[in-house]
Chains A and B, each alone.
Chain A
Amino acid sequence: MDFAFMRDAFLTLIGGVPLTLNLAFMAVGLGAILAMLLALMRMSGLKVLDWPAQAYVFVFRGTPLLVQIFLIYYGLGQFRPTLQEWGLWVFFREPYWCAVFALTLNTAAYASEIIRGGLQSVPYNQVEAARACGMSGILLFRRVIFPIAVRQALPAYGSEIILMVKATSLASIITMMEVTGLAAKLISQTFRAVEVFIVAGLIYLILNFIITRIIMAIEWWLSPHLRRPPAVEPRLEAAHV
């Protein structure tokens, strides 16, 4: 084990962290919006909306992410003239945007099921209570359904975020130089797979550890009703003794 080499490798690979996080957060952020839309489509009770959403989820969860990335990055090149005509080619010619697009579509499929589970877990009597107070529509959603659903869905959403951080590694196959891309390059230059693997693995573990901590903190913040009440110290005020 060559520690000097591992230190150098660490310094090289850490340069890929911004891109890894960038890809992951872009995908999770955009994916959340699409996922919300899909979840609402599935819960709308209208077959016209429910069916496409169901098909979408089936297709994106049933095929490997790498196939989706290739389909977008290489596959859409087949329609280059059309895309150029529509002005979309500037977008699809960049590996960065293709990776973000593919990751977004992929995470939206998984996240929509998580959100749907969260929305469905909202107890009906709470909704009834809110209606009895005269809330409806967006107010009801904003004040009652959404907060409860978020709290329910957060642990599962947290693991989806971790999965996304891991999934960004696939962007390295379409030339994005994030942590895994740099690691693969370093391995092929030095042929020291084990050391580079340990360093790269460590970086991912640290990232994921920090993300899980953040999610746990948000969970704690969102569930004050489950926390023990703060111990009230009996105050001995002089006047009453």
Chain B
Amino acid sequence: MQQLSYFELVGFGPNGWGWALLTAAGMTIAVAICGFLAGSVVGTLVAWGKIGGNLVIRSLADGYTTVLRGIPDLLVIYLFYFGGSAALGAIGSLFGADGFIGVPAFVTGALAIGIISGAYQAEVFRGAYQVVSRGEIEAARSVGMHRWLMFRRIIAPQVLRYAIPGLGNTWQLVLKESALISVTGLVELLRQSHIAAGSTRRPFDFYLTAAVLYLLITWVSTYLFQRAETHSMRGMRRAS
């Protein structure tokens, strides 16, 4: 067999893996976004627990962030991957379904990323909340806003503004974590490269392409987060 050139290999021709790699890159972005959003929900709740909870809730929240930041992400993914199907199997057996029930790899992956990044995002949100001036919260309370309205109108917009740089860092982490989801068999960018490398015996070419695509995604998202930051800060006076 004649050796294909690199560009034939990763291109969009009849022997090219271009479309497969692009679809897989789309999958990477999709699972990263879902995981990130799940993490935002978890992070908000945990940050709330850390700020406003009683002693029990606060120590639970602190324990959560400490543990999740202290153990390898891969372990959490294994827990969700193996534990998730075991749990579903147990539930299934209650209804008479026998045997192994697999959780969709996408759901496992997004949930695992959400739980991990939630711990990081909680710290980001907590830090950002502390920057919001106490006076504004008191002012909101004094005009009679109840908690939800105050959260929506005063706290959330400002916390989000201060949290953008930290969220950008967390997003980069999430994006890189999404590569670990490949161990569960989800065909994202790394998995697809692995498959292509195996079937063409050109591992270096494909992993290099994957690395370049990851870099591209990182680069574009850094740019977008920078745009978001300048946009959100447009009303602020810069100390200079």
Contact = CB atoms under 8 A, between A and B. Distances in A.
**A and B from one complex:** yes
A213 B201 CA distance: 47
A77 B203 CA distance: 8
Contacts of B38: none
Contacts of B66: 205
A165 B121 CA distance: 21
Given A71-B211, A74-B203, A180 B72 contact: yes
B168 to A, nearest CB: 13
Interface residues of A, number: 41
A77 B172 CA distance: 29
B125 interface: no
Interface stretch (A35-43, A148-156, A186-194, A228-236): A186-194
Nearest to B73: A166
A102 to B, nearest CB: 11
Interface residues of B, number: 41
Is chain A's binding surface mostly helix, strand, loop or mixed?
helix
A67 interface: yes
Given A63-B211, A208-B70, A180 B79 contact: no
Interface of B: 66-67, 70-76, 78-79, 81-83, 86, 172, 175-180, 182-183, 190, 193-194, 197, 201-205, 207-208, 210-211, 214-215, 218-219
Interface of A: 58-59, 62-68, 70-71, 74-79, 162, 166-170, 172-173, 180, 183-184, 187-188, 191-194, 197, 200-201, 204-205, 208-209
Q: Which 9 A-B pairs have the closest CB atoms?
A: A169-B72, A64-B179, A193-B83, A75-B204, A193-B82, A64-B176, A74-B203, A62-B218, A78-B204
